[in-house]
Structure 1
Amino acid sequence: MRKLLSIAFLLIFVAACRNSDKPDYVISEDQLVTILVDIHITEGIASSLPIPYDSSQVVYSLLEKEVFEKHEVSDSVFTQSLLFYLKDPQLMDEVYGRVVDSLSKKQTIQAAEQQIK
């Protein structure tokens, strides 16, 4: 009986520690994935421009603002959401797995379209 009570207490403790109730300001995982995909594409565009690094950073800032406007999210909400998800490394790993898959898929589609042309 004591062992059963100890196990029940342990399960309750683990469940309480993994309380994943996210605050209202935190964006959904799906929205985070789509924003991160667009941000990484934006970073790629800005870094591939034939301009000095400091100029590419200015361009990136402008393009990043467009990404946030496109997704109707402020940069502060995005940052706070990202910090929330970073508290759970396993969840963040899953999110970035989806980001990488999405970017790979986009790259494959773009390569196929270029071969058709």
Structure 2
Amino acid sequence: MKKLPVCLVLILSVLLTCCQRPEEPMPPSSLLPKEKMVQLLVELHLNESRVEAAHLRADSSQALFNQLQKDMLWRHEVSDSVFWQSYRYYAVHNKDLDELYGIVLDSLAARKYELGVR
């Protein structure tokens, strides 16, 4: 019976060491620049607000959001895979994602102020 916990610990330690991310993962070859990511994230959150304001059923809301996201990426000439690869890369680098979202939040707050929304 004592062998089971030892085996479990060994298996967990092997899994944890295998699953650790490298210190500096390689950026994807098509990494979007931070400025472009900020633009896309701002627009993504604005689309999310539009969908919420529409007060649709859940499935209709999801369909509308998906279409808005598809249109946004098409307008910016970015594939969804490039967007999500870039997002994952920035997310792995917490400092980068924090920096991006700091700018996104400032941009959204500035838009809110310009519109006089409280």
User: Into which bin does the TM-score normalised by the smaller protein fall?
Assistant: 0.7 to 0.9
- Read off the aligned partner of 2:81 and give its amino acid letter: S
Name the CA distance, whole Å, in 1 between partners of 2:28 and 2:58. 37
Partner of 1:52: 57
Which of 76, 83, 88 is equivalent to 1:83? 88
1:31 to 32, 36, 39: 36
Structure 1 spans left out of the alignment, 5+ residues: 1-16, 113-117
Distance 1:83 1:47 in 2: 25
RMSD (CA atoms): 1.8
3-state SS of 2:59 partner: helix
Point out where structure 2 has 5 or more consecutive residues left out of the alignment: 1-21
1:24 to partner: Cα distance: 2.5
Question: What's the counterpart of residue 12 of structure 2?
Answer: none
Partner of 2:73: 68
Identity %: 32
Letter in 2 for 1:90: K
Residues 42-51 or 94-103, more deviating: 42-51
Tell me the alpha carbon deviations over residues 9-48 of structure 1, each in whole angstroms, 9 at most, x when there is no partner. Answer: xxxxxxxx86576333110000000000000000110111
Q: How many residues align?
A: 96
Q: Secondary structure at the match of 1:72?
A: coil
